Structure 1
């Protein structure tokens, strides 16, 4: 009988209710299973008491106040009604609590107000797992599929590479609602680490990291020479070093003028080098996983014999005015240049003088007494030099 009276009162005043814009917040509200939600009204506490407060879930009564509280059996022990504002707290949520909630309030001396909002109760994200179809890949040859799974409801999936979001492209495909990431023709920049972030409006979860092992290279090969210089003296020690970006580490082979050398490894040590070892050196890097190779640009190694034992010899020791005489300048070693002097000054060729064979031969086609003097010849190369002298006395006829 008591319930009937309350319903009669509500029906008697229902025609005076106005839809209270803003009495309840715009929905939906989101909450996790097992959590608590507060339906907070926008009403300010007032001296004027509420004559009636009615909360319903769909057509089901949650709580009705009209002098006393009448709580629906499904909500016993789960709700608290705040009479100062009409707000409602609902605890221990389950999935069946999702739906529309409505409020009707009649306040003494004022118009009735109504409002409604929607509640979504969601299973929180849990057990986020990411797996890869393979983690041992070859650059440009392999493709990989990463799959993400999770418990929870209304799930959204996001893939991260390090701290950056993965976005779709010609090579990168995101499918199955975002839970599957496929990378076609991987590059070594695709190694990760990857992780899957799963979220819904009430929670977030992240998978463990997946790092891909991507074999690549060799690339960016570089050949260097210790104490690089244009020429090296015989007997010098030279080390050539070869490097390349590669996974796994590259194997290195060496070539001289295009011919294969027996030496292997990232360093080639040339000890006590001889002129016969001059030439263009190059290295080749090979990756036994990708089966690719790359060859360096050649590096020139020029070995010179140091100059020694310079000498000047005449074609005859009897230097008589009017005869033909040659002075020949030579030395042991790699002679690049020869410079002639007479009596300590640079030689000025007179009309009866000529130089031949890259200044090796100083020729007098008809000796004069003025040709007498001390002749010196300086032989040199970029690493050494030596000088020889010859004194010629021209005898008058």
Structure 2
């Protein structure tokens, strides 16, 4: 019986509404929130019609009804949904079960029905971001990988070097959905502070790693010093016999020998 009355009312409103200009609904609400937070789908609307009735639906299923100046008890609710203010919707202590496509439709005598739509997505916070390096010691033509890990609902991973964005441009390669930054044949100019940023629309965390790549000139200098020391030691060894054979006995030594 109730559904029949509601259907007849909607048809009557539509019939009356065809004769007038459609109203409008506007909102600045995003519908994105962290798990456990409240979500307010705040609306404002204009209409030339009268006797308003607002209907909220989730994925096409009616969940709440609002009539101005009618006690709150006459509105219908589902779970943690509440009608507030001028027909706006409050999702209290949100969970991922609240994810979905929300819509509000306002019907009024003298106006055509008009609607507004929201995509509600509840996210777990991004946490526990870590960065590791492989191999730990970089030498020669070895590629180095910086790998990022994070927990929570991560939608985007990005990298910076010394606060400058790093992308897929040689010698950099972003692998594993951007979780791995690979540097091919790096030299000392690629040393610096690398930061992994993991985020979603309502949460983000980052972690940094100091990459140190020795200058090739240092290796050459060390090699020169090393081989120079070896050469000097060999020279000393080759000179040792001649020193012993060139020792001259003083007169006292001669007298003792006589």
Q: Please list every run of 5 or more consecutive structure 2 residues that lacks an aligned counterpart in the other structure.
A: 234-258
The answer as to whether partners of 2:159 and 2:166 remain within 8 angstroms in 1 is yes
Asked whether the equivalents of residues 17 and 113 of structure 1 are also in contact (C-alpha less than 8 Å), the reply is: no
**Change in 2 beyond 3 A, CA 1:22/1:8:** closer
Cα distance, 1:143 vs structure 2? 1.8
What residue is the counterpart of 1:186 in the other structure? Answer: 186
1:117 aligns with 2:122: no
Does residue 41 (structure 1) correspond to residue 43 (structure 2)? The answer is: yes
RMSD: 3.4
Q: Report deviation, 1:115.
A: 2.7
Structure having greater relative contact order (Cα 8 Å, sep ≥ 6):
2
Q: CA deviation at 1:98?
A: 2.0
| Cα distance change, pair 15–115 in 1 and its aligned pair in 2 (3 A) | farther
Contact residue 35 and residue 125 of structure 2 kept, 8 A: yes
Measure how far apart 1:252 and its partner are: 6.4
- Per-residue CA deviations over 1:286-311 (Å, capped at 9, x if unaligned) read xxxxxxxxxxxxxxxxxxxxxxxxxx
Shift of 1:148: 1.2
Distance 2:39 2:220 in 1: 56
Stretch moving more, 20-29 or 185-194: 20-29
- Tell me how far apart the structure 2 counterparts of residues 116 and 212 of structure 1 sit (CA, whole Å): 47
Cα deviation code 1:215-264 (max 9, x no counterpart) = 2232xxxxxxxxxxxxxxxxxxxxxxxxxxx379847659xxxxx767xx
Tell me which residue corresponds to 2:92.
91
Alignment CA distance shift 1:74-1:147 (3 Å): same
* TM-score normalised over the length of structure 2: 0.71
Q: Does structure 1 retain, via aligned residues, the 8 Å contact 2:96–2:123?
A: yes
Secondary structure of the residue aligned to 2:210 is: coil
Residue aligning to 1:224: none
Larger strand proportion of the pair: 1
| Structure 1 Cα separation of the partners of residues 222 and 184 of structure 2 | 25
Give the C-alpha shift of residue 108 in structure 1: 5.4
CA distance 1:187–1:62, change in 2 (3 Å): same
Whether the 8 Å contact between 1:31 and 1:122 is mirrored in structure 2 is yes
- Provide the aligned length of Structure 1 versus Structure 2: 223
Q: Quick one: distance in 2 between partners of 1:146 and 1:20?
A: 56
* CA distance, structure 2, for counterparts of residue 187 and residue 21 of structure 1: 64
Shift of 1:193: 1.5
Rg larger for? 1
- Structure whose residues are more often helix by fraction: 2
Find the residue that maps to 1:137 and give its secondary structure: coil
Following TM superposition, by how much is the alpha carbon of 1:64 offset from its aligned partner in structure 2, in angstroms? 0.8
Aligned to 1:130: 131
CA contact (8 A) 2:53 2:108 kept: yes
- Distance across 2 between alignment mates of 1:122 and 1:16: 42
Q: Which residue of 1 aligns with 2:202?
A: 202
TM-score (norm 1): 0.48
CA distance in 2, matches of 1:51, 1:71: 16
Determine helix, strand or coil for the equivalent of 1:131.
Answer: strand
User: CA 1:55 to 1:253, structure 2 compared with 1: closer, same or farther past 3 Å?
Assistant: closer
Report if the CA contact (8 A) 2:13-2:112 is conserved. Answer: no
SS in 1 for 2:12: helix
* Aligned equivalents of 2:51, 2:219: Cα separation in 1: 76
The answer to whether the 8 Å contact 1:127/1:150 transfers is: yes
CA distance in 1, matches of 2:10, 2:49: 18
The 5 Å alignment of 1:69-84 reads 69-75=74-80, 78-83=81-86
